[in-house]
A and B are shown apart, each in its own frame.
Chain A
């Protein structure tokens, strides 16, 4: 069966410091991969999605970037964190083009201080 893991689960970072959140999927090949953010009172916002290695689409302009160095690995990064980057970050995967269920990881709490 397919599993998805992301880490770290929680982190507290100072403003201006870098960020790296990692996500891996097991039990499937060539998944679509996603990064979502849940900010307080704002639901789930799509940040990035990827349909293949090195292919990244960004949904909103922001201080973050994403990379997919391997088929089942998705990384969310920032060179310099802002206070507004605080939130709950969720990695997710799905099996194909449209009409597919997205499955989420456990989430990562980021607090920028």
Chain B
């Protein structure tokens, strides 16, 4: 049962434009959300997170938005750069739990 869903397996964006990656979740107990970036044959690296008490968190070019009523979060990358090309995983956990539940990932390609 997939509790975290990334419905777009791939996304292509031109360099300098905005990339928007989306994620939906079904478990209302989730209250901590993260985005990871992964290059082929490497472990995922932590990018940005947000807790349920916020609806927005910003770190440089990366902003995560959380809509709890819709059980939806998104990652915005502005401006997109070719080095951002990677697979992005959305993850979520409840504060009472340990492990993260991951989506299947969205492959982002930023073209020059």
Contact = CB atoms under 8 A, between A and B. Distances in A.
A43 B94 contact: no
Contacts of B95: 97-99
B99 interface: yes
Interface string A101-113: 1111111010000
Contact of B99 (A34, A43, A101): A34
A49 B104 contact: no
11 contacts: A32-B98, A43-B89, A43-B102, A98-B93, A99-B31, A100-B32, A102-B34, A102-B46, A103-B46, A106-B42, A106-B43
A65 interface: no
Interface residues of A, number: 28
A100 B41 CA distance: 24
Nearest to B105: A43
Nearest to A94: B98
A102 B89 contact: no
Contact of A43 (B42, B43, B46, B104): B104
A45 B102 CA distance: 7
Nearest to B94: A98
Interface SS of chain B? loop
Contacts, number: 64
A45 B4 CA distance: 12
What 10 pairs across the A-B complex have the smallest Cβ distances? A104-B43, A43-B104, A44-B102, A98-B95, A99-B95, A99-B32, A107-B43, A46-B99, A49-B99, A104-B44
Interface of B: 31-32, 34, 36, 41-46, 49, 51, 89, 91, 93-105
Contacts of A104: 36, 43-45
B98 A49 contact: yes
A90 interface: yes
Chain B CB within 10 A, most for which of A88, A90, A99, A106: A99
Contacts of B31: 99
Given A43-B89, A98-B93, A98-B94, A105 B99 contact: no
